Amino acid sequence: MAGKITADLSGMTILITGASSGIGAHFAEMTASRGAQVVVTARRRDKLEELVADIAAKGGRAHAVTVDVTSATSIRDGVAAAVKAAGPIHALINNSGVAPGRPLLGESAEDWDQVIATNLSGARHMAVEVARQMVEQKSGGTIINMASILGLRQGSHVTAYATSKAGLVQLTKQMALEWARYGIRVNAIAPGYIETPMTAAHFETDAGKQQLLRIPLRRLGQVEDLDGPILLLLSPSSSFMTGSVLVADGGHLISSL
């Protein structure tokens, strides 16, 4: 029988990509504060080391590993370094992503390739490397892919991003199907508009304010609004969930506004 959703993540080692700032850094701090050992990855080593120091100062356990998710070699070496530093990985939060806003006719092939390489291929390669480790350890585990409501609907000037996130939704379901036999559960979270340092300025503009009016709850999401879905998917209470996509968007997806 599944247990209650718990805030106690003691004994769990979680690898988090894209953790140098924003949502990824928040996930690292939040899960470490609940007892998890975290391995934070990104390209910016200085930011990772600052995050690790902050977590340690609060009594948490964290390790920094530099990884470029657009490089399969970097991912392979990074996962090996994470296991060496922290031991077997029990959960992966696939959070790395880029979100340039360009009209399709103004987007270069290089722009497209960067988004797909980061948001989709990078998530695939990271999940595969972590899953291999889970299979070798015969431990099972949990993989959480950070998708987006733009993987489930359309938006202006975000074709590459929306396509990458739609692919990530399907990738989540394919991974869940293939890896269930190993006790590896794979789910996705599809956030709506979340306030971060990168998005805050946009929502002060007239266009951003108009977007807010189309959200039934009439507000931006906060990073803390994603804590519940993350903790649920890390919890034994979700032990019968795999291949699911949890939407956290203030009702935006179901709105016709």
Catalytically active residues, by annotation: 161
Cβ neighbors of 39 (< 8 A, separation 6 or more) are 13, 14, 15, 16, 62, 63, 64, 65, 82, 85, 86, 89
Q: Which residues, listed in sequence order, are joined to residue 246 by a DSSP beta bridge? A: 189
Question: In this structure, are residues 147 and 169 in contact, taking their beta carbons and an 8 Å threshold?
Answer: yes
**Token pair in block for residue 30:** 């939040």
- For residue 51, which phi and psi values (nearest 5 degrees)? -65, -45
Question: In this structure, are residues 217 and 193 in contact, taking their beta carbons and an 8 Å threshold?
Answer: no
Q: What is the H or E stretch that residue 47 is in?
A: helix 45-57
**How many angstroms separate the CA atoms of 38 and 13, rounded?**
6
Chain centroid, CA 189 distance in Å: 8
Would strands 91-94 and 245-248 be described as parallel, antiparallel, or unpaired? unpaired
**How many angstroms separate the CA atoms of 255 and 257, rounded?**
5
**How many angstroms separate the CA atoms of 27 and 226, rounded?**
9
